[in-house]
Amino acid sequence: MWFFIYSAVLLLIAWLGCAVIYSFRYGGFKFFGFKFSRKFYYLGLMIFPLAAALDAFSFSDLNRFLDFVIFMFAGVVGEVIFSYWWRLFFSKNIWDYSFDTLFGNFTSLLNFIPWGVGGKLFIVLWAGYTKIFHIRLDLSQYLVFWLIFLSLWLVQVILELVLKLRAQSLVQLKDQRINKVYFYFILPVSVTLVLISFAYGLAFLLQALIFGISAFAAEYLFGKFMQLLLSKQLWHYNYRTVDGTRASLFSIVPFSLGGIYFLSIWLILTFL
């Protein structure tokens, strides 16, 4: 939680600082609509690694900073893997980035720091959820989740690859029935969550829903704020979009899976 408190304070200071600098250079205060530049973006987002460093210093715990760094890279890796999986079933990316793209527009250099923040968000959500509702969710349950999910995912991927060899136009045909394809696409996640809920109770499923909805809202607000601040939309969704192309309803389940992904990494690091 202290990471986000430090981040909010630093963000407010940086935001006001930009307004003051602008007033000296051009006269009059300006809080939104600055011209986009990569240098401005990266310098602005450096408040988050700084907040992670302050958080680690406050608790004399270097792991609080290392977690952030690991989340930065784990997020980008996970995003790329997910995007390759998505493209097995759809003719277009679920999202496209506007700047500094990597791996066929599956991710962007601009994403590293935001993924670090995202990983921290999932940990705070998990900590709050387990504390408020007095629920115990440990590493073993997440390992069981991944064992089931990866088994189902592997079967789905192999089946899809076999079908592609037999029908080259399969993707184009599928784009005519997006919702049905999407529900088939998320089947490994959905079935795994149902089985885990039967085994351990509904707490695991509710946690996944909290992850998905919270991350959807956080990404939307971050994108909205960045566009207001920098006058550029940093990414565009291509399916079942919300508010233009800034967000997508199809991202909620992937964000649920992402939350479990980050939390599993964190629990493994804590165990080590």
Q: Which pLDDT score is estimated for 169?
A: 46
3-state DSSP call for residue 247?
A: strand
Residue 101: strand pairing partners: 108
- Rounded to 10 deg, the angle between the 47-58 and 2-26 helix axes is 140
Domains of the chain by residue range: 62-271
Burial class (CB in 10 A: 0-12, 13-18, 19+), 47: buried
Residue 12: strand pairing partners: none
Global pTM reads 0.90
pLDDT in tens, the chain (272 residues): 788 898 888 888 776 766 666 666 666 656 666 676 777 788 888 899 999 999 999 999 899 999 999 999 999 999 999 999 999 988 889 999 888 888 888 999 889 999 999 999 999 999 998 888 888 888 999 999 999 999 999 999 998 888 877 765 455 555 568 888 899 999 999 999 999 999 888 889 999 999 999 999 999 998 888 887 777 888 899 999 988 888 999 999 999 999 999 999 999 998 87
Q: Among candidates 79, 90, 12, 10, which has minimal Cα distance to 51?
A: 10
3-state DSSP call for residue 109?
A: helix
